[in-house]
Amino acid sequence: MNTDPRPETVRAYLDALQRALKGCSPGLISDALTDAEEHLRGEIASTPERSEAEVLASVVETYGTPAEIAEEYKSMEATIGGPFPKSEQPSQPHRGFFGVIGDPTAYGALMYMLLSLVTGIFYFTWTVVGISLTASFAILIIGIPFALLFIGSVRVLSHVEGRIVESLLGVRMPRRLAPPPTDENIWTRIKDALSDIRTWSSMLYLLLMLPLGIAYFVTSLIGIVVPLALIGGSITGLVTGRSHIQISDVPWLDHIFHTAPGLLLAIALGVLLLFFTLHIAKAVGWLHGRIAELLLVRL
């Protein structure tokens, strides 16, 4: 039985909803808070003659208490499918080192690593240019609207990145953008944006994506090209009788890879490296998902 006092303010309602959703993914909590705040503030704005407490008292009867809304979101989340198995579902039995071949999260993470160089360059360039222009326009009359426009673009890019992270890494990210407040003047909106820690953490994330993107791309490219070169070159050597693997600095090793057993060993090594690459991609995907949750999700 729920014994929590009935919230009399929107902030109290949102705090109670966040407590009720404790243990859920940050992305789900963010969406639930955004939906609730938008609905509640819309109801309050439509009846300006009534106090906030009066409006909340009537809205709770139709919209639901924080505990009821939390249960609805948990149930809804459990029924929504996605590209990866949900954590609530029974986990597959551990199949050892080679079991990663059937893990879709490894391939999604590998694709994300290959894509991250392009997105990293774009995010970094956009953020650096935006910060530079905002600082340059600060003394001009267009500085204020430009600053708000840039901050808005950062939030949009963060949301887009969140959708990419969820699609390829399987980490639940916010699926809704928080609507801008309509009852605040421009100065209040600027103050709120500058005091919001997520404004700065989102910019930090966009800047970090360049070095991270370079590291991810290089790692994934080497992890794909080297094994495939070993496998392809060895198979070609077995078929043609001429090995193209050259290790001139180690003569005895070079001789081994010019024999049939040595070429078979190279194929086996290439296959092992491919599996190792998938394990690295899976680990990178898990780590980057935690970074994205930490820096991009607004609660």
pLDDT digits (tens, 9 = 90+) for 240-250: 777 666 666 65
Cβ neighbours of 201 (radius 10 Å): 16
Dihedral angle of Cα 128, 132, 135, 140, to the nearest 10 degrees: -130
Is 280 in contact with 102 (CB distance < 8 Å)? Answer: no
Residue 123 has pLDDT above 50, yes or no: yes
Interacting residues of 297 by C-beta distance below 8 A, sequence separation 6+: 26, 27, 30, 162, 173, 174, 198
pLDDT tens digit sequence for 166-222: 999 999 998 887 766 655 666 676 777 777 788 899 999 999 999 999 999 999 999
pLDDT tens digit sequence for 241-279: 776 666 666 565 665 667 778 778 888 998 999 999 999
End-to-end CA gap in the chain:
26
- What's this model's pTM, rounded to 2 decimal places? 0.81
Residue 105 has pLDDT above 60, yes or no: yes
Residue 2 has pLDDT above 60, yes or no: no
What percent of the chain stands above pLDDT 90? Answer: 34
Give dist(CA 205, CA 295) in Å, integer: 6
List the structure tokens of 219. 């790692």
Rounded to 5°, angle at Cα 243 from 242 and 246: 140
pLDDT tens digit sequence for 43-98: 887 887 888 788 788 877 788 888 888 888 888 877 765 555 554 444 455 567 78
